[in-house]
Every structure is written in C-alpha cells, then in structure tokens.
Amino acid sequence: MNKLFTLLALFLISVSSAFAEADVEMAFDMRSNGKIYVVVAVLATIFTGLAIFLFLLDRRISKLEKQHNIDND
C-alpha cells in the first residue's frame, strides 16, 4: 500500500510539472483588466457560504444527536 501511494504521488508530481506553463495568457489578461478580483470575490463568497452552511448543519446534527441520546436513555 505504501509503495502504491509513493508511486501515485510521484506520478502526480511529474504530471503537474509537465502541464505547468510559465506564462498563462488568460491569467495575465484577467489581472491586467482587473477581472481577477471579481473571480477572487466570487470564490471567497462561495467558500464563505459553504463554511457557514456546514457550520449550521453541524450544529443541527449535534442537536439531533443529543435529542436522540436523551430519548434512548
């Protein structure tokens, strides 16, 4: 299992370096036009929303687990 994990890690590292480009034209254009900040803001909003949703979901599940444990006692 350890050999398989090591082989997979080496493969992923070699593939990622093979496809890496030094100059990404799309990223350069978005930075020069100021659109990259819109992309970052949208991603931050999505991740913040997901984090809040997961936090509230965890609280609800914890509350249900406590109720379930009280009912079974």
H-type alpha helices, the chain? 2-19, 25-33, 36-72
Q: pTM of the full predicted structure?
A: 0.56
Q: For the segment 18-53, what is each residue's pLDDT rounded down to a tens digit?
A: 666 666 677 777 778 888 889 899 999 999 999 999
Distance CA 28, CA 5 (A): 35
Note the pLDDT of residue 45: 97
| Angle subtended at Cα 58 by Cα 66 and Cα 56, rounded to the nearest 5 degrees | 115
